[in-house]
Amino acid sequence: MKKMNLVLFYSEGGDKDNGLPLTTEKDIMFESAKNAVDNISVYNPTILKNMGYEYHVKEREKAGLASCNPGVQSIGFFAWKPLIMLLELEKMNDGDILVYRDVNCTKIEVYKNYDNFRENVEGFINYVNFDFFVSRCHEGWVEPFSHKFFCKTNTIRELGENHPFSYNYPMIWAGFICVRKSDISIKLLKDWLHACENEEWINGEQYGELQDGFVWSCSEQSLLSLIISNWIRKRVHNIPINYPQVVFAERDLNRGYSNIDMRYLEYLHP
């Protein structure tokens, strides 16, 4: 029987890592999830530093363009996210499922809800017909919720190859990720990790002019979203052309829907 694993990350704050203190939230999440999955693994900056991954939790002086997440500059601008998922997949068998979920359930209370969790996770992966599931960001005050507003423009020019599709593709949400272990999902995570290790892409500094209407940088999330848009545009590993199809109302996994505007497909090659 295939197993389902959960990986969590939290910053300790104080004299540990200068990030947002989330130890209490981590404990709540662990307790909430313990009966919903087969295994839970937990990381923090201290653990990763002791493992030799200092860069992925490297502290910078300023958040800069990524200031929407307090303390992000103190924990590597989330460059650790693909790393901890790859570390966990190494322990798992092909076909097993790994889920990453943000822990700040004080800010977003629904994070600690694990009702129907296993069924939802398996259903999301099967629904998109791909071994890597993320949802699209909820529609907000910017319409559409696309890369041009939330990716640093240098990353669109370089990682997104300055293609119109890269500017207009809808931003994904990296606070909840489901991965069925396979060569394809591992390749996507490795591409994401490599992008997060590019200093000018991951940090909050500005390099060159920004796109008109830019709001803020979503750090590691924008890099994953750009890679996914590249895969769609280049038809890599048969990723569905309308990926991602799912949005969660108020980030509630039990309130997903897929009637999504897909005007961004107009920017694909004919």
The mean pLDDT of 251-256, rounded to a whole number, is 93
Q: What is the pLDDT of residues 107-147, one digit of tens each?
A: 999 999 999 999 999 999 999 999 999 999 876 544 568 99
Domain residue spans in the chain? 4-267
- Give the residue-averaged pLDDT of 6-27: 96
pTM for the model stands at 0.96
The token pair that represents 100 in the structure block: 């990453």
Concatenated DSSP letters of 38-106: SEEEEE-HHHHHHTT--GGG---S--GGGTTSTTGGGGGGGTHHHHHHHHHHTTS-TT-EEEEE---TT
Give yes or no for a contact between 171 and 221, defined as CB atoms under 8 angstroms apart: yes
Q: Per-residue pLDDT for 182 more than 60?
A: yes
Identify whether the C-beta of residue 11 lies closer than 8 Å to the C-beta of residue 22.
yes
